[in-house]
Amino acid sequence: MFQKLWLTTGKNYYSHDKPLQYFLSHLNFKPDADLDALGHYVSTKMIEEAYYVDHYAKPILKMWSVRGEEINYVEVSPSHLQTLYDLLRHGVVSKTITGERDLLYHFISGYVISDAGFFCTITLTEQTAYGLAKYGSDEVKATYLPNFLKREKPWMGATFYTEVQAGSDLGGLETVAQQSGDGKWRLRGIKYFTSNVGLADAAIITAKPTPPRPGAKGVATFFAPAYLPNGRPNWKILRLKDKLGTVTVPTGEVELRDTDAHLLGTLDIGIYIALEILTIARIDNSTAGLGLARKALWEAYLYGNERRAFGKRLVEHPLYLRDLVEMEAKLQATLLYTLTAAKTFSDVAYAERPPYSPAYYYARLHTHIVKNLAAWTSIEITRYSMELMGGIGFLEEFPMAKIHRDALVTAIWEGTSNIQSLDMAEAFYRKDAGKALLEDLATRINKLRDEEARHKLTAALQNIKDFATEALKDGVELHSKKLLAMLGKATAATYYQEWAEDSGEQWATALSKIYLYTEVIDKEIDSNLVRKGGEGLQWML
């Protein structure tokens, strides 16, 4: 019966998604049966559970036991918890920690799962296990890492970074870390946004060792279990947040009261470890946001294929079809770029440690660009897909409202557009990764067979170079957001055109032209492009 509410119920979000399969083949990704099973599970089980939790079963904080003990219990439905365990059973965290698959496997799972709440838990678990596996001491890893690899009821994680006065500005942290005579660390402070609190069995926590040093260089990164060996909570949950979306992940405030913790890495590289772990979440934010966009557009397409108005189906109306193909082109181009960026980071992640090589900063540069591009693509497509369904799309009893509410957070989580702009500028100019990106784009563009695309993208690339040079004269920060957007669209258009030419598919050629015209050069598209591009949507039926 749920299929009467959610039209894509039963569609395999992995194997039935033909553009995804084309792009993974293009990136030489080795197929995996667990991802196919995950795609089926998400469309037949998870989306219904996510819908129900969002509407009727929000997490509830229970602070005290019947005996008056402080228990930090966040109550969720048994099926909510089982859904998380089911998702983890597909290896979306464990396979990357054991080395069976690289991080790209995990990032792809984000696109397939995409529910911003459920996948937030998965992301935080990946981050926690990654930080522990890469930077934990041998003793700490031996004690805790096996818990994340269990098939039955594996541990889940969290990251406690944000404070009231210090969100993206990690240098402003006031949480302190004190090392006792026995060498153990204890943390004191309040963390203001702590997602997955109450479900997490452990967390990555940022703090400043005493005496605290000013600025970000004074930050250290720690691993801490949620409960002590005697069963007592290692921190106190103060409250849960009431949020616009992402209801399926509890987000709260936490007080650290002499919280037992283990240092990750060394004190001098703590801020780098924290930001490296954050990079995983930024890529997850990008792939999952585009997964939300795919689900929304898929719903709108199926609805438009059935709904009739003025004597014919909505998809037979030129305006409706044009809307669909423009969004499909934007989604596909952004997805290909995002997956390419995810692979670029995945290729260097475990091999790199501070001080990082140019290859790491090149990967990081792409991360900032796609995080911004994917977030705004997700927000735009989910909003417009809602509009394409008319009043039905605006009703909470159907999926589109939840999908769009969840998509809105993608521009906020893991650093807003302004933060991505600043971080991009640092990697682009100070780390000299911009030079490598511009050279790579020039090489790719010069090899394009389509003369118009080659000419227009060459001009776009020159505009970027000129703008980047002028920005240095007037102040990089002021112009960094425009540069971020220019880089995103030009890179996505280049990668997409390159792939379309290799594919030999007429619909791919049409969609790549549509993206070039609508996102890079502002040229009107004609009916032939719309018709050909529309053929590239028929796989959704």
CATH class given for the domain over 12-148:
mainly alpha
Write down the pLDDT at residue 495: 99
* Kind and range of the H or E run holding 206: strand 202-209
| Residue written as token pair 């660009």 | 369
Low-confidence ranges of the chain (pLDDT < 50): none
310 burial level (CB within 10 Å; 0-12, 13-18, 19+): exposed
Question: Which residues is 221 bridged to in the sheet?
Answer: 206
Provide the CA 255 distance to its chain's centre, in angstroms. 27
- On the 0-12 / 13-18 / 19+ scale of CB atoms within 10 A, 21 is middle
List all residues 6 or more positions away from 317 whose beta carbon is below 8 Å from its beta carbon: 309, 310
Please tell me what DSSP assigns to residue 422: H
Q: Does 157-267 match 12-148 at the fold level?
A: no
Decide if 536 contacts 530 (C-beta within 8 A).
Answer: no
Report whether 398 contacts 376 (CB < 8 A): no
Given 2.30.40.10, 2.160.10.10, 2.40.110.20, 2.40.30.20, which CATH number is that of 157-267?
2.40.110.20
Q: Strand, helix or coil at 453?
A: helix
Pairing mode, if any, of strands 220-225 and 236-240? unpaired
pTM for the model: 0.98
- Quote the tokens at residue 93: 């965290």
256 contacts 191 by C-beta, under 8 angstroms: yes
Measured in whole angstroms, the distance separating CA 522 from the mean position of its chain's CA atoms is 29
Phi, psi of 181 (to 5 degrees): -60, -25
Q: What is the pLDDT of residues 406-432, one digit of tens each?
A: 999 999 999 999 999 999 999 999 999
CA gap 340, 363 in Å, rounded: 10
How many Å apart are CA 506 and CA 514, to the nearest integer? 12
What is the token pair recorded at 132? Answer: 């522990």
Phi-psi region of 514 (alpha: psi -120 to 50; beta: other; left: phi over 0): alpha
Domain locations in the chain?
Answer: 12-148, 157-267, 416-540
Residue 240: how many CB atoms within 10 A of its CB? 18
Q: Alpha-carbon distance 432 to 426, whole Å?
A: 9
